[in-house]
Amino acid sequence: MIKKMVSILASEFEVEEDVITPEANIKETMHLDSLSLVDMVGLVEEEFGVEIKTADLPTIKTFADLYDYVYKNQK
């Protein structure tokens, strides 16, 4: 799952895969603002079938947080 996630995020947000490390900050690493964050949420829902609830979004700061969230919420 992690490998696929890294590949998809790197491709969509045009960053090198090796900067997407578990401890890296998502917004800073992929240069996301409030609008492009919406695209990341949509991408995760499309590719992994996990809807990130708006209320949960502030708790997802690093890529590790994202992997955990997807892992826990995948059906």
Partner 1 sequence: MEKNERRVVITGMGIWSCLGTTLDEVKDSLYNGYSGIIFAPERKEMGFESGLTAYVKQPELKGLVDRAHRVFMPEEAQYAYMATVDAMKMAKLDAEYMEKHDVGLLYGNDSSADAVVKSVDTMRNKKSTHLVGSGAIFQSMNSTVTMNLGCLFKLRGINMTISAACASGSHAIGLGSLLIKWGLQDCIVCGGAQEVNPFSIGSFDGIGAFSKRENEPAKASRPFDAQRDGLVPGGGAATVIIESYESAMRRGAPIIAEVMGYGFSANGDHISSPNVDGPRKSLLMALDQSGVSKDMIGYINAHATSTHVGDTNEAKAIYSVFGNNMPPVTSTKGQTGHEMWMAGASEVIYSILMMKNNFIAANLNYEYGDEDTGKLNIPSYRLDNHPFDLFLSNSFGFGGTNSTLVIKDWKE
Which residues lie near partner 1 (CB under 8 A)? 12-14, 31-33, 35-36, 38-39, 41-42, 45-46
Token pair recorded at residue 12: 């969509």
* Helix (DSSP H) and strand (DSSP E) numbers for the chain: 4, 0
Least distance (Å) between residue 42 CB and partner 1:
5
> Which CB sits closer to partner 1, 32 or 64?
32
Which region, left, alpha or beta, applies to residue 14 given φ > 0 means left and ψ of -120 to 50 means alpha? left
Name the DSSP letter for residue 24.
S
CB of 38 to partner 1, least distance (A): 4
Closer residue to partner 1, CB minimum distance, 12 or 64? 12
